[in-house]
Copies of this chain bind each other. A is one copy, B any other.
């Protein structure tokens, strides 16, 4: 961490820039800024009362900070995806209202009273839990990211979508409250069911797609949560209300929404969602499967195509997100020249396991063109690969698990574009 030193360096240069701002204002003294010299309309009357918004939405000036889908991407919106506006967010928490959705048969409405969770298969006592039952078990709170396996998938072939929201927005990061899956499995009497290390669970949701997935028992007993709150409040309908599975660090497709059944099995089910989908087709046509963990990855969210530089040269905050499904982010580096040289970014906080990390590079931009990149490192020692490195190993036929370094060409006028580095 170069927090202190980079700050001091930045300030040394920003003092000068700050002074320039002041002088610029001073030079405009002949036409004084009415926002400073006059009493403003919003100080001359009353605003809205405390009964105006029992549940509030963003102010109307922010109405472009929303989830967006790409219309040509899928045949129908009920089996589709929308994208988190990460280019416009900061910090690490994603509000539920703008956290991406991915459905296979649409977001269903399921009341708490109608909710049931069955645990069956190789257990001592098959159990059915109501929502009220779940609330009686010890709860935990954890902040985790959830990333769709197809996030950045369009980039395999080349620079496709012009904006961090679309290239990297199938991700969100929330504080979950729930019951460890281990607790419920133990409640069903798993301990006496034989050698656990060869066992699996098969999980499915209450929607029409059911979206069944197999999860090895080791993960099920490690850190999975049966979650009913996100960022303090009930899950939203589109995120699995009233209960979803949280599978920290693993691809979002496994985070079963409206989870209705957990079957303990001695083999994986090899379901549609883990055979024809959510496998990576290699160059020779074979499939790479059980690619559950999301490898370390990062992206510069600002500047980026949807968040151009509008203030010209001088002090510039370059910011972005980094994450790893295998542990905590330990370091993020930023390149302005397409990967030839790298500077260490400042992490807003030390990286936390399977959670988004915000990074900043406080820099002084000379106004010349930049080929902006970021690369993440995690506590396993893994380093985010270039697109070329990834293609060399995995070819060009994949949809899923593209964690390559992203490049934004930032022009002298501050506009940015998604480009390939040769």
A residues whose Cβ falls under 8 Å from a Cβ of B: 7, 10-11, 14-15, 17-19, 21-22, 25, 33, 35-36, 40, 42-59, 61-63, 65-69, 76-78, 80-82, 88-98, 101-103, 105-112, 114, 116, 118, 125-129, 132-133, 135-141, 175-177, 183, 186-187, 206-208, 210, 228-229, 231-234, 236-238, 241, 258, 310-311, 314-317, 319, 346, 348-349, 358, 360, 362
Contacts and interface: CB of A to CB of B under 8 A. Distances in A.
A67 B54 contact: yes
20 contacts: A17-B136, A21-B133, A22-B126, A33-B116, A35-B114, A42-B110, A42-B208, A50-B102, A55-B65, A56-B238, A91-B141, A91-B177, A92-B175, A92-B232, A93-B231, A97-B97, A98-B233, A136-B314, A138-B360, A139-B319
Contact of A187 (B15, B33, B67, B106): B15
A105 B59 contact: no
A229 to B, nearest CB: 5
Q: Give the oligomeric copy count.
A: 2
Contact of A14 (B68, B136, B176): B136
Nearest to A7: B138
A232 B106 contact: no
Contacts of A102: 50
Contacts of A110: 42
Contact of A97 (B56, B63, B103, B229): B56
Contacts of A317: 135-139
Given A51-B77, A56-B97, A44 B232 contact: no
Contacts of A48: 78, 106-108, 237-238
A358 to B, nearest CB: 6
A138 B141 CA distance: 30
B139 A236 contact: no
Q: Shortest 10 CB-CB distances between A and B: which pairs?
A: A47-B106, A49-B77, A54-B66, A47-B108, A42-B108, A50-B82, A90-B177, A46-B106, A141-B348, A59-B237
A155 B311 CA distance: 51
Contacts of A314: 136
Contact of A50 (B50, B55, B103, B137): B103
A99 to B, nearest CB: 8
A318 to B, nearest CB: 11
Contact of A136 (B49, B53, B81, B315): B315
A53 B398 CA distance: 30
Given A54-B68, A118-B36, A241 B177 contact: no
Contacts of A88: 233-234
A95 B40 CA distance: 30
B59 A234 contact: yes
Given A7-B138, A48-B237, A55-B58, 19 more contacts: A14-B136, A18-B127, A19-B125, A42-B206, A42-B207, A43-B108, A46-B106, A47-B109, A47-B208, A50-B81, A50-B102, A52-B107, A53-B67, A56-B98, A61-B109, A91-B177, A92-B175, A95-B231, A141-B348
